[in-house]
Amino acid sequence: MKTETPVVKYLADYKAPTHKIETVDLEFHLDDTQTQVFSKMKITPVNGNTLELNGEELKLKSVKVNGEEFSNYKEENEILTLTGLPSEAFTLEIHNEINPKANTALDGLYKSGGMFCSQNEPEGFRRITYFIDRPDNLSVFTTKIIADKKDYPFLLSNGNLIESGDLEDGKHFAVWNDPFAKPAYLYALVAGDLAVIEDTFKTKSGRDVKLQVFVDKGNEEKSHHAMESLKKSMKWDEKRFRLEYDLDIYMIVAVDSFNMGAMENKGLNIFNSAYVLASKETAEDRNFFGIESVVGHEYFHNWTGNRVTCRDWFQLTLKEGLTVFRDQEFSADLNSRSVCRINDVRNLKAAQFPEDAGPQSHPIQPKSYIEMNNFYTMTIYEKGAEVIRMYHTLLGEEGFQRGMDKYFELYDGQAVTTADFTHAMSVANDNYDFSQFRRWYDQAGTPVLDITTKYDEAAKEFTLTVNQSTPATPGQPTKEPFHMPFLLGLLDSAGNDMTLALKNRDDQNDLDRGLLHIKADTETFVFANVNERPVASLNRNFSAPVVLRSDLTDEDFVFLMANDNDDFNRYEAGQALALKNIHAMLKDENHQVDELFIKAWGSILNDNNIDEEFKAVCLSLPSMIDVAATIDIPNYRAIHEAKDKLFKLLANTYKLELASIYNDLSTERPFKVDAKAMGERKLRGFVLACLSTVEEHKELARECFKYATNMTDMMNSLSVMVNENLPGCQESLKEFYDKFKDQTLVMQKWLSVQASSCDDTTFDKVQELMKDEVFDMNVPNLVSALIGSFARNKVQFNHESGRGMKFIAEMIRKVDAINPQSASRLAGAFNDYRKMPADLKEIAKAELTAIVESDKTSKNVYEKLSKTLN
């Protein structure tokens, strides 16, 4: 039984720190199991002479105040409390010991392969030494690292290298100083025997910045794409946001064992190697894209996160929502803007909407947490980015950029709140009124817009009635209406946008941009001079992150698919139609798929005026999660079968056209990593998946695999073979393994594709793969690739026998003992607990209750699963 319930932290309890650590000089004597840490801090008291320092898993050796031994302290509940301290500035020296090798949680200082590295956001630094480990304590850090020279030729920390040299016994040292005061979560240390590639970037003011990417030896050739992405990021931020880099050196280090994607430590980013390493033989296009966007994301944090940081962790979206918005814009400026937007929204709907509709639902600015690591969520990040995007839509690019300039003018060098961001946006734009808009920070749940339309032929008027509502979420039974920017167009029968004129309202000013403001529960907009019945294109570009329900007809959707001047809505219209058909198929096995839809799908397929990638996304069917979203108790197997049936029908109807597109795209062409080439490979992969369901093309995937010269084609064909159980599947898996078994990133793909198959053999397969030498439970990427993929495999996780969820419950327990963050992510598989059929729910309940009640369960898993059961 759990003996004590973990402590809940509340935003409302925020208190300013009692002391400020002005400077800290750290000295590390690196050792696998007994690293010595000496910390010398210059501290200014702000309020009182009792100081509480955070410290976890530390062995305290000595404490000195102003150079004298000090014993007026006690250590309790991971807090070191020092009392009777001087009321003037003083120095505090602490010596403690840590065990990096035992740190399988990968939080604080740990070992990844042979190297030392660190991850301190949000609260890892307290596992290195005693500190005021909160983001509103900004200190200047100096670090001396001492280690064996042969094993650790590179010794890195934040800022500039100011000294280095040899010591006796084969040791050496390096001293780094970061002139920018920063919170401890941005601190980093790396020591290892690495390879490095170098370049330089000349900033807009003419300074040369040295750029370095550190990787395991032998991976140099795979790090150029990351380096190129870094240079593009630096250039883009100067151009679009006027932001220049501020140190003389920028380092990226790739590590194999990492809990998240990457970390923006000042001047020394540490990356999951999955977001650094890429070659055409080992990385898919989505990996190339992901590297560009994550390198950009971490770089953009230098201003939005580091120069202006968060006052407390409840403000996380201040830096994450904003930085995701910035990285999305970066990707959109460098690639196809429409496709980027479609993919971002697809991602939001597939992962954030369900989060917001389930037991973990929280506002982008949460009000409480037990374990902060549980709040690096789709909501804080992706919905947070949607909220920033809404400022952008409301203010326009110019107004938004004025707000950004104001933000840095007011808050550079400070730790601030989301309200400060809103303030900057407002004062830079004639005191724009964001008071109602602020509800986006406080209310959870995805708002629903119910829209009805009416055309009055005689009066030439078109009326749009918009009703908004937001479902209850944990702790928030009722909601106030949101202020949302709603972009719309009215199309005439030729497909042109009509000029908009509102009859009943005076807020006409944004109409030329097609922008309506939705504020009240119910809004009515009457458009005048509408000479024919228009087709309304609603919520263009997904301007408000909502669920939309409207009275548009199937004919309207078909019209929008073909004619909308907003690419996002062309895509969305197709999704809406597909979704309608899948729902109808679920209700009635004999449902005849709508001819209209089949035709419209074919028109997109045969349209020579749309580029390949846009075509591929428009033709893709809605995800299982999209389908399940509106069903109380979804039957995932049935959803899978319905989707499958529809997919086969479309593929068979258009098999000739598909085959001809496939052939066109199969002509030899040089490998490039640009939007055009990636789009072509994406469409080719999509068409291959279609054709593989057609009897006469069952051998095609194996062919494609055999002659593939890049990983995108290889994985596209391999996943089709695995999912459809096609001829050549087993040989291909074996060949793939033999070729890549020494490359863990590629093996992650191999594990994941097998664990994702809906086939009933997958369960046994996963048990077998866990014993394979390429698998390692200590590495989060591998846990996610194999066990995580199975946990996300809706059909197999929800297997009627209960074996899928029992297995994942067991894995949560096992992984939790190693790495609570990794385990907590697996626990997300139970988020649709309340939507499970009764017998499965019974099984889940027993498993989850046992975990929640166990004394061994981490705070991370406890918080997630106790909310799930609630």
Q: Which lies closer to ligand ARG via its Cβ, residue 139 or residue 824?
A: 824
* Residue span 783-822 as binding mask against ligand ARG, x where in contact by CB under 6 A, dash where not: --------------------------------------x-
| One residue of 25, 56, 93, 121 binding ligand ARG per CB under 6 A | 121
Report the nearest approach of Zn ion to the CB of residue 297 (Å).
6
Which residue number, 260 or 691, has a Cβ lying nearer to ligand ARG?
A: 260
Is residue 178 at the binding interface for ligand ARG, with CB under 6 A as the rule? no
Beta strand 484-487 pairing with 51-54: unpaired
Q: Which two tokens stand for residue 804?
A: 């899928």
- Half-sphere exposure (CA, 13 Å, Cβ side) for 568? 20
Q: What letters, b where the CB count within 10 A reaches 16 and e where it falls short, cover 670-702? A: eeebebebbbbbbbbbbbbbbbbbbeebbebbb
Query: Which residues within the stretch 513-572 sit at the binding site for ligand ARG (CB under 6 A)?
Result: none
Q: Which of the listed partners (Zn ion, ligand ARG, none) does 376 bind, with a CB threshold of 5 to 8 Å by partner kind?
A: ligand ARG
Tell whether residue 233 is a contact of ligand ARG (CB under 6 A). no
CA distance 176 to 144: 6
Tell the smallest beta-carbon distance from residue 93 to Zn ion (Å).
34
Question: 259-279 as b/e, with b when 16 or more CB fall inside 10 Å?
Answer: bbebbbbbbbbbbbbbbbbbb
858 binds, among Zn ion, ligand ARG, none (CB under 5 to 8 A by kind): none
β pairing state of 448-456 and 547-550: parallel
- C-alpha closest to that of 486 among 427, 545, 533, 446: 545
Q: Which CA distances in Å does 682 have to 613, 615, 656, 678?
A: 6, 9, 19, 6
Binding segment for ligand ARG among 259-267, 604-612, 714-722, 797-805 (CB under 6 A)? 259-267
Give the per-residue contact string, 321-360, with Zn ion (x = CB under 5 A; - = no). --x-------------------------------------
Count H helices, E strands: the chain? 29, 32
Per-residue contact flags (x/-) with ligand ARG for residues 260 to 299, judged by CB under 6 A? x-xxx--------------------------------xx-
Q: How far is the CB of 297 from ligand ARG (least distance, A)?
A: 6
Rule CB under 6 A: say whether 373 interacts with ligand ARG. Answer: yes
Q: How far is the CB of 416 from Zn ion (least distance, A)?
A: 16
User: 122 vs 363, which CB is nearer to Zn ion?
Assistant: 122
Nearer to ligand ARG by Cβ, of 213 and 715: the residue is 213
Q: How far is CA 802 from CA 577, 757, 796, 862, in A?
A: 34, 17, 9, 22
DSSP secondary structure, 16-62, as one string: --SEEEEEEEEEEE--SS-EEEEEEEEEEESS-S-EEEE-SS-EEEE
Q: Please give the size of the binding site for Zn ion, defined by CB under 5 A.
A: 2
Shortest Cβ distance from residue 263 to ligand ARG (Å)? 5
Q: Which is nearer to Zn ion, 323 or 623 (CB)?
A: 323
CB of 264 or CB of 292, closer to ligand ARG: 264
**CA atoms within 13 A of residue 177's CA, in its CB half-sphere:** 6
Residues 6+ apart with CB under 8 A from 764: none
In the residue annotation, 298 being an active-site residue is answered as yes
612 binds, among ligand ARG, Zn ion, none (CB under 5 to 8 A by kind): none
Residue 364 in the binding site for ligand ARG (CB under 6 A):
no
Note whether 379 binds ligand ARG by CB under 6 A: no
- Rounded to the nearest 5°, which phi and psi values hold at 677? -65, -40
Quote the crossing angle between the two packed helices 636-653 and 675-691, to the nearest 10°.
100
Q: Which residue is associated with the tokens 């991976």? A: 219
Q: How far is the CB of 347 from Zn ion (least distance, A)?
A: 15
Selected range binding Zn ion among 124-132, 319-327, 570-578, 810-818, rule: CB under 5 A: 319-327
- The H or E element spanning position 116 is strand 115-119
382 near ligand ARG, rule: CB under 6 A: no
Rounded CA separation 278/260 (Å)? 18
**Catalytic entry in 93, 121, 298, 523:** 298
Least separation, in Å, of the C-beta of 305 and Zn ion? Answer: 7
What is the x/- site pattern for ligand ARG, positions 133-172, by CB under 6 A?
----------------------------------------
> What is the torsion angle, in degrees rounded to the nearest 10, for the CA atoms of residue 728, residue 734, residue 740 and residue 742?
170
- Closer residue to Zn ion, CB minimum distance, 320 or 355: 320
- Which phi and psi angles does 53 have, rounded to 5°? -110, 140
Q: 3-class SS at 194?
A: coil
- Rule CB under 6 A: is residue 658 a binding residue for ligand ARG? no
Choose one: 312-320, 363-371, 428-436, 667-675; the region binding Zn ion (CB under 5 A).
312-320
Chain centroid, CA 76 distance in Å: 35
Residue 409's Cβ-count burial label (10 Å; 0-12, 13-18, 19+) is: exposed
Residues that bind ligand ARG (CB under 6 A): 119, 121, 259-260, 262-264, 297-298, 320, 373, 376, 821
Residues that bind Zn ion (CB under 5 A): 320, 323
Active site residues: 298
